[in-house]
Amino acid sequence: MNKNLLCLLLALPFSTLTFANQSQVKSEHTNKSISSFYQTEKEKGWFWYNEPLEDVKELITKQKLNIEPEVIKNEDKNKPKPLSQAWIRANYQRYLDAAIENPNDKKAMLNYLYLEKYIQDTAKDFAYARQSAIFSDPNLDIVSSRPTSSFGSNMMNNLADHNKDELLKGIAKESGIFFFFRSDCEFCEKQAPLVELLEKEYGFTIKAVSLDGLPLKGTKWENDYLTNNGQAEKLNIVRVPALFLATKSAKVAGIVQGIEAYPMLKVRIIDAAKRADLITLETQQLTRPANLYQDKNGKFAGELESNYQLPVNK
């Protein structure tokens, strides 16, 4: 008996160890399975199970016939209505994935293509309805502010250019331009003829100011210029050529620091005049090719008269 008891005691540790090893292997296998499941299925979220895709052609047919399901289950009440925008956002990718992953599956491909065509048709209907709504309201219609036809846009461009010319003549009567340069500045040499043109066309008084005390050769101001006496520092000039608008009431507004084309110089001068309180925003708007139609009373709302006088406080 003592011998049998001894054998039993010797076998017990080995059997316990074997059982523990088996349990550990089983546990590790289970953990790996669970881990693998969550790694592969986690992107599907709560609805990780594969719900069958509905037949899109059938859904479209039912929608056209206004067929509604007779009984709606409680669990379906919160689901989006088939083919609604919410339903499409929730399901489009599933139909696309099914077609891509199974390109030879005719049903999967047709399902996706019917859904795609339905989306395109819906977008087309929306576009036409949107256009109709815009046409019905002049506050939304772009043509009410700016013509889209070539001949109409050319007419409005010409009117805006006319207003711009008349306004610049009026601005020139109430202000002058300071032209800052350096004698060794090639950009200043190229800008100078355009500045001179502002004087010829609109009557601006131009005062040229040399930052290095030397003349700008080959220009009108070769022998007629001022030297910098602290003005550049007060105006925070960082580069040349530089142009500033100065009013009779001693208000100064920057036009540009750097070389600029002639058409944009005119636009910049008008903007500087607004910042210097020479003109209002409404007057500036008349130089832009938009909203220049006649009003309902026949007044040509967008035209400035010749020899226009600025309505400013001098």
Q: What is the pLDDT along the chain (314 residues), one digit of tens a residue?
A: 444 544 444 444 444 444 444 445 444 544 444 445 444 444 444 343 457 888 888 888 877 776 555 444 555 667 889 899 999 999 999 999 999 999 999 999 999 999 999 999 999 999 999 999 999 998 899 998 889 999 999 999 999 999 999 999 999 999 999 999 999 999 999 999 999 999 999 999 999 999 999 999 989 888 899 999 999 999 999 999 999 999 999 999 999 999 999 999 999 999 999 999 999 998 999 999 988 887 777 665 666 766 666 665 44
Size of the chain in residues: 314
Determine whether 18 is exposed, middle or buried from the number of CB atoms within 10 Å of its CB (0-12, 13-18, 19+).
exposed
In this prediction, residue 87 carries a pLDDT of 92
Q: Residue 234's closest CA among 175, 178, 176?
A: 178
State how far the alpha carbon of 311 is from the alpha carbons of 8, 66, 83, 248, 282, in Å.
117, 66, 61, 14, 12
Q: Distance between CA atoms of 123 and 129, rounded to whole angstroms?
A: 10
In this prediction, residue 77 carries a pLDDT of 66
Q: Distance between CA atoms of 168 and 266, rounded to whole angstroms?
A: 8
In this prediction, residue 306 carries a pLDDT of 64
- The H or E element spanning position 292 is none
The answer to whether the predicted template modeling score (pTM) of the entire model surpasses 0.85 is no
In this prediction, residue 78 carries a pLDDT of 76
In this prediction, residue 302 carries a pLDDT of 62
In this prediction, residue 25 carries a pLDDT of 45
Residues with Cβ within 8 Å of 110's Cβ and at least 6 positions away in sequence, in order, are: 57
Count of CA atoms in the C-beta half-sphere (13 A) of 247: 22
Strands 242-247 and 226-227: unpaired
In this prediction, residue 35 carries a pLDDT of 47
Cis peptide before 241 (omega within 30 of 0): yes
The residue extents of the domains of the chain are 85-127, 167-284
Angle at the Cα of 103 from the Cα atoms of 101 and 107, rounded to 5 degrees: 105
Domain covering 167-284: architecture: 3-Layer(aba) Sandwich (3.40)
